[in-house]
Each structure stands twice: as C-alpha cells, then as structure tokens.
Amino acid sequence: MKTLNEIEVTKKSEFKSTDTKMEFVNIFFAGKRYRVLKGLTILKALEFAGYRLVRGVGCRGGFCGACATVYRTDGDYRIKVGLACQTMIENNMYLAQLPFYPAIKAFYTVDEIKPSGDLFLRYYPEIMKCLQCNTCRKVCPQDLDVMRYIAAAQRGDVSRVADLSFDCLQCGLCASRCPAEIVHYHVAQLGRRSYSRFMQKPSTHLSKRIEEINSGKFNNEIESLIKLDRKELEIIYSQRDIEPEEEIAPKKDED
C-alpha cells in the first residue's frame, strides 16, 4: 500500500525524475521515524519530512558548519558524523543534530600572540591533557588531522597548526567528542592568527600602494574618469590591455 507521502509526491511530481521510480527510506530523527525520499541529503530529508529548521542549517553548501550531525547506520555500532547538507541519508539511519556545543575561548589581542614554544599552553593549557585517542580526527567532517595539529600546538609549532587546521569550519564536533575536553577549533584559530600576523611577511607592495593613494597620486586620474560620459568610458574600457595568463607549456601528468 502506498503511503500518503508517496501518493502526494508522485502526484505533484516535485522531482523531475521520470524514468526512475520513487523510492522511500526510513530515517529516525532524534529517535522518531520519518519516511522520506531516497537519495536526499540529511538536510533535505528533514525538510522533506516537514521541518523548517532554525538551528542546524546554514549555508547549505558545506562551509559554515552549522549543521553538524551525529548518526549511526543500520547494523553498525560506530558513531558517525557529517554535515547535514553534505551527507546522504541511508535506510534506517539514526541521527541527531548538534548545532551548538559549549566551548570556551581564550581572549587575547592579536599583538600579544607572538609565536613561541608556549603560545598555546598559555591560552589553552588543557591541550596537554590530549590522550591521542584520535577521536577528533575520526569525527572531523572536513577530514582534518585534528590530533596532529593539537600535537603541533603542544610542541609550539605554530605554522604547522595553521597549515593542518586551515580548512576547519569550526563546527565543534571535535570538541564534542574529546575526552580531554579540548576545544580544538579555538586552538587552531589562535594558531592561524599568530602565524599570519607574525610568521608571514607583510606585503611591501601593499604599503607602497597605500602611501601612493594617501599622497593623492591617483586622484586626478580618477576625477577625470568620473567626469567622462558613458561613450568615452566604453572606449577606454574596451581598449584597456589585459595582463596575459602565464604561458605555461602543457605539462604531462606524472601518472
């Protein structure tokens, strides 16, 4: 017997697919069963089920980390995690969202976070409690090597922390599972800011240009452009020279 959902979806043909038959699966959201279309992401499945989410939804593109979700799949004892907007549902998936997790953050001004061996220990001494269980890495939806950037933080290796943690979305799943109660993503944030502020060299061409602008070097040219009418601007625009892409001889791939 068809359920109401199936009749309705087929009738309204909300999905354009014509040659594939509508298939449905069960998901359990916070323990409650919903029957939803197969092939959706967790986020779209929840919406299909009728949810209008306020928390647990954000950019819908895998960038903001608002839709962190924990789940178990049928017949597997392991806890799995993912972003709801990026993870596909499976039949009999058990899931709950974790849109927020309490975390502490150290307060500092950017000038006082010069790289040093004890930079991280000063603000986050709890990183020394790391048990190296590697759970943080296993839950990271970005597949970052979280444990190793914490190890780098213990060693005071600021540039390594910055590099290994760069793709972090700050979703907080690592912190939610850490037996040592570390808030990894704030440690990483401190590392990246310290690295960028003090270990990357400032751009000299930037300072030069700012001086030029402040000295009024470009004022006359801009003012005269502003006075031009559209036709004159069009000519200047279409005649402007365009910096070429580097001429790169096509390289053979190594493999």
Partner 1 sequence: MKLLYYPGCTLHTVAVQFDQSTKEICKQLDIELIEISDFTCCGGLYPQTTENLMQLQAPARILVQAQRTDPNLELMTLCTFCYNTLKRTHYTLKKDEQKRNILNDYLEEPYNAKVKIVHLIEVFRDDIGYDTIRKKSKRSLLKGFRVAPYYGCLLLRPMNEIELDDQEQPSILEDLLYAIGCDVIEFPYRFDCCGSFHVVNKPEIAEQCSKELLRYTEQFHANCLVTCCPLCYYNISRFGGTDFNFQIFYITQLVGLALGIEPIKLGLDPEIINKFISDSYLV
Partner 2 sequence: MSYPELMIESIARVEETRSSRLKQIMPRITLEEKQILLENFHPDYKSESFRKLKIGPNRGDKVPHELADLLEARSRIEPKDFDLSRVDYETEVLVIGGGGAGTAAALTAQEQGIDVIIATKLRWGDSNTIMAQGGIQAADKENDSPVRHYIDLVGGGGFVNIPELARALVFDAPMIIRWLESLGVMFDKEPDGTMKTVHGGGTSRKRMHSCRDYTGMEIMRVLRDEARNRGIHVLDFSPAVEILLDESGKCAGAILYDLETEEYFIVKAKATIIATGGMGRLHVQGFPTTNHYGATADGLVLAYRVGAKLIFMDTVQYHPTGVAYPEQILGQLVTEKVRGMGAQLVNNEGFQFINELETRDIVSAAIIRECTDRNLGVVTPTGMVGVWLDTPMIDIKHGSGTTQRTLPAMVRQYMRYQIDITKQPILVYPTQHYQNGGILIDENAQCSIPGLFIAGEASGGVHGRNRLMGNSLLDILVFGRRAGKNAALYASTTKVNSLTLKHLEKFHQELIESGVGLERVSPMLLPDYSSHLSKIRRKGGVIIA
From CA 27, how far away is CA 93, in angstroms rounded?
5
Question: Letter for the amino acid at 70?
Answer: V
CB 189 within 8 A of CB 153: no
Which of 145, 180, 192, 193: binder of partner 1 (CB under 8 A)? 145
Which of 1, 32, 118, 203: binder of partner 2 (CB under 8 A)? 203
Token pair recorded at residue 94: 């058990």
From CA 76, how far away is CA 234, in angstroms rounded?
64
Which of 28, 38, 166, 180: binder of partner 2 (CB under 8 A)? 166
From the list 149-157, 187-195, 214-222, 234-242, the region that binds partner 1 by CB under 8 A is: 149-157
CB 171 within 8 A of CB 83: yes
146 interface partner picked from partner 2, partner 1, none, CB below 5 to 8 A per type: none
DSSP H helical ranges for 166-203 = 173-177, 184-194
Is residue 159 at the binding interface for partner 1, with CB under 8 A as the rule? no
Nearer to partner 1, 45 or 174 (CB): 174
Question: 222 phi and psi, to 5 degrees?
Answer: -65, -45
From CA 252, how far away is CA 255, in angstroms rounded?
8
Beta bridge pairs of residue 95: 29, 71
User: To the nearest whole angstrom, how small is the minimum distance from the Cβ of residue 10 to partner 1?
Assistant: 46
User: To the nearest whole angstrom, how small is the minimum distance from the Cβ of residue 90 to partner 2?
Assistant: 13
117 interface partner picked from partner 1, partner 2, none, CB below 5 to 8 A per type: partner 1
Q: Which helix (H) or strand (E) holds 93?
A: strand 93-97
Which of 22, 64, 151, 180: binder of partner 1 (CB under 8 A)? 151
Nearer to partner 1, 44 or 137 (CB): 137
Residues near partner 1, by CB under 8 A: 117-118, 128, 130-134, 145, 147-148, 151-152, 154-157, 160, 164
